[in-house]
Chain A
Amino acid sequence: MNTKMVVRIAVLSAILCVIQLMISYLPNIEFVTLLLIVFSLHLPLKEGIWICIVFSTMQGLLYGFHLWTLMYYVIWSFYCVIVYVLKNRLDNWVKVAVLASIFGFAFGSLHSIPYFFIGGVSMGKANIIAGLLFDLVHGVGNFVIATVLFDSVNKYFNRYIDNKRN
Chain B
Amino acid sequence: MKNKLVAVVCALLVLGIGSYVILNITKKKTTVGDKEISVTIENRLNEEVDIIYQGKITTDKEYLGGALDELVGKNAFSMEASDSGFGRYIISFNQIEGSGIGAYWMFESDNNEVCVENGFCSLGMDMLPINDNDHFIFYLSNSNEY
Q: Which residues of B contact A140 (CB under 8 A)?
A: 11-12, 14-15, 18
A132 engages B86 (CB within 8 Å): no
A66 engages B102 (CB within 8 Å): yes
A123-B118 contact, Cβ under 8 Å, with A64-B102, A140-B14, A147-B7: yes
User: A20 at interface (Cβ–Cβ under 8 A)?
Assistant: no
B118 engages A25 (CB within 8 Å): no
With CB as the reference atom, state the residue of chain A lying closest to B6: A147
| Alpha-carbon gap, A123 to B118, bound state (A) | 5
B120 engages A123 (CB within 8 Å): yes
A122-B86 contact, Cβ under 8 Å, with A140-B11, A140-B12, A148-B4: no
B15 engages A137 (CB within 8 Å): yes
B134: min CB distance to chain A, Å:
17
B22 engages A126 (CB within 8 Å): no
A66 engages B86 (CB within 8 Å): no
A133 engages B118 (CB within 8 Å): no
Q: Which residues of B contact A143 (CB under 8 A)?
A: 7, 11
Q: Which residues of A contact B26 (CB under 8 A)?
A: 129-130, 132-133
A136 engages B4 (CB within 8 Å): no
Those of A122-152 within 8 Å (CB) of chain B: 122-123, 125-127, 129-130, 132-134, 136-137, 140, 143-144, 147-148
B118 engages A122 (CB within 8 Å): yes
A64-B4 contact, Cβ under 8 Å, with A122-B119, A130-B123, A136-B19: no
User: B54 at interface (Cβ–Cβ under 8 A)?
Assistant: no
User: A78 at interface (Cβ–Cβ under 8 A)?
Assistant: no
A27 engages B146 (CB within 8 Å): no
Contact of B22 among A64, A122, A132 (CB under 8 A): A132
Which B residues are within 8 Å of any A CB, using their own CB?
4, 7-8, 11-12, 14-15, 18-19, 22-23, 26, 84-86, 101-102, 117-120, 122-123, 142-144, 146
Starting from the known contacts A130-B118, A136-B19, 20 additional A-B residue pairs (CB-CB under 8 Å) come to A27-B84, A64-B101, A65-B102, A66-B143, A66-B144, A66-B146, A97-B7, A126-B122, A130-B122, A132-B22, A132-B26, A133-B22, A133-B26, A134-B86, A136-B15, A140-B11, A140-B18, A143-B7, A147-B8, A147-B11
